[in-house]
């Protein structure tokens, strides 16, 4: 089977990691796979001048030498267009299946002739948060006639609560069980917590950082680690003494997760929350808000759910987890590990193939 994925750009977002893994999985099963993406966005002349004036080295590096994204790092066949623009018929080979992975790519896909493949929309988010002016376009993309697959039940319910029944099926994300693995361990003394840092408000890094500060009032020795793709900004400060890993190598992530006694998930908006599953696979219990897949992943005693947008509730959970008995923490660690390891990307790829339209 010939399968083409459409991406707006290659980067290090969780959504692109999912596409890269699916492309690898399908290729390993003998399917002919191609990922087509636009070139990364570049700064406008005015923004470039501002970055030069402010010596914003991160923005300048991304403009002149963009970091490799998950698709490029995966090694799957990848075609990059010369600039950000709509992907059109002439950019694509004939295929059996074409898969849109973002609302804009779904609109582009709708204009393609049947020779480019049966259309499938892999819905990785309810993508109305980026720009309120695009809500009508996002809704139009979601209403297009195609096979629709969401990455979590929460995402399906959120979209259909707004737009009505759309016959969306669900194929949950999984975790690389070889990459994210750690041997059994005891809780540390002093304890350590971690989270993903991002400057975007929807990711809730400010909530996690504030929760750590509050928890230190009860546990002054609490250590904090974080990693992320963004440089730390004064507008979203980290707790004092936080050890921050900027753009760590993929093979370093399991070590970051495994050095923590709890992983924090404080997103205000998220379609899944892949770091939760990665942390759990490394035997790190998660304290998270009921956003994305958190309720499914952390239920049945596999983690700790706390109120949304409440650093106080998250801090209380940190203190409680750090003060529970060593045996209780180890049991929670083992349940988190078992939950993450009962479903693999191989399982997810099999489900995806079942949901694809028959040829």
| Domain ranges, ordered by start, for the chain | 2-174+344-355, 192-341
Report the pLDDT averaged over residues 284-292: 96
- Residue 239: DSSP 8-state: P
- Residue identified by tokens 């993508």 is 127
Q: Which two tokens stand for residue 208?
A: 């996690």
48: confidence class by pLDDT, cuts 50, 70, 90: very low
pLDDT at 86 (0 to 100):
95
Q: How far apart are CA 317 and CA 89, in angstroms?
A: 52
250: confidence class by pLDDT, cuts 50, 70, 90: confident
55 pLDDT higher than 80: no
Contact (CB, 8 A) for 230 and 158: no
Nearest-5° Cα angle at 72, 359 to 150: 45
Report the pLDDT averaged over residues 335-357: 96
Q: For 65, list phi and psi in degrees, rounded to 5.
A: -145, 75
pLDDT tens digits, one per residue of 120-163: 999 999 998 767 788 999 999 999 999 999 999 989 999 999 99
Q: How far apart are CA 207 and CA 236, in angstroms?
A: 10
pLDDT at 95 (0 to 100):
98
The yes/no answer on whether domain 192-341 falls in CATH 3.40.50.2000 is yes
61-70, long-range: CB within 8 Å, 24+ apart, which pairs? 66/40, 67/11, 67/12, 67/247, 68/10, 69/9, 69/10, 69/11, 69/12, 69/16, 70/10, 70/11, 70/12, 70/13, 70/16, 70/17, 70/19, 70/20
Q: Answer yes or no: pTM beyond 0.85.
A: no
CATH number among 3.90.1150.10, 3.20.20.70, 3.40.50.11090, 1.10.10.10, domain 2-174+344-355: 3.40.50.11090
Q: Which of 327, 330, 273 is nearest to 305 (CA)?
A: 273
Q: Say if residue 25 is exposed, middle or buried (CB neighbours under 10 Å; 0-12, 13-18, 19+).
A: buried
With a CB cutoff of 8 Å and minimum separation 6, the contacts of 206 are: 236
43 pLDDT higher than 50: no
Q: Do domains 2-174+344-355 and 192-341 have the same CATH topology?
A: yes
Contact (CB, 8 A) for 147 and 117: no
pLDDT tens digits, one per residue of 7-35: 999 988 888 999 999 999 999 999 999 99
With a CB cutoff of 8 Å and minimum separation 6, the contacts of 280 are: 175, 263, 286, 297, 302, 303, 336, 337, 339, 340
Question: 196 has which bridge partners?
Answer: 227
């Amino acid at each position: 089977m010939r399968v083409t994925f459409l991406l707006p750009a290659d980067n290090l977002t969780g959504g692109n990691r999912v596409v890269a893994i699916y492309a690898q999985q399908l290729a390993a099963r003998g399917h002919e796979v191609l990922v087509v993406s636009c070139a990364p966005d570049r700064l406008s002349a005015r923004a470039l001048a501002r970055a030069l004036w402010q010596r914003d080295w991160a923005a300048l590096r991304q403009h002149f030498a963009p970091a490799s994204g998950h698709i490029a790092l995966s090694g799957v066949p990848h075609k990059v267009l010369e600039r950000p623009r709509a992907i059109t018929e002439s950019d694509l080979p004939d295929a059996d299946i074409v898969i849109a992975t973002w609302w804009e790519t779904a609109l582009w896909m709708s204009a393609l002739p049947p020779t480019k493949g049966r259309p499938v929309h892999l819905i990785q988010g309810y993508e109305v948060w980026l720009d309120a002016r695009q809500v009508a376009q996002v809704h139009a993309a979601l209403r297009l006639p195609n096979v629709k697959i969401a990455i979590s039940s929460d995402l399906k319910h959120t979209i259909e609560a707004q737009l009505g029944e759309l016959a969306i099926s669900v194929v949950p994300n999984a975790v690389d069980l070889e990459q994210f693995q750690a041997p059994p361990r005891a809780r540390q003394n002093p304890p350590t917590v971690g989270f993903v840092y991002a400057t975007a408000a929807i990711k809730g890094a400010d909530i996690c950082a504030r929760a750590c500060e509050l928890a230190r009032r009860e546990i002054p020795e609490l250590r904090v680690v974080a990693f992320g793709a963004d440089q730390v900004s004064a507008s979203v400060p980290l707790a004092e003494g936080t050890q921050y890993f900027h753009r760590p190598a993929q093979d370093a992530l399991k070590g970051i997760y495994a050095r923590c006694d709890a992983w924090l998930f404080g997103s205000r908006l998220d379609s899944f929350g892949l770091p939760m599953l990665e942390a759990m696979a490394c035997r790190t219990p998660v304290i998270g808000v009921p956003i994305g897949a958190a309720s499914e992943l952390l239920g049945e005693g596999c983690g700790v759910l706390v109120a949304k947008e409440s650093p106080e509730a998250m801090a209380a959970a940190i203190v409680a987890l750090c003060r529970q008995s060593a045996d209780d923490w180890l049991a929670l660690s083992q349940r988190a590990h078992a939950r993450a390891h009962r479903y693999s990307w191989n399982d997810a790829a099999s489900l995806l193939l079942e949901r694809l339209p028959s040829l």
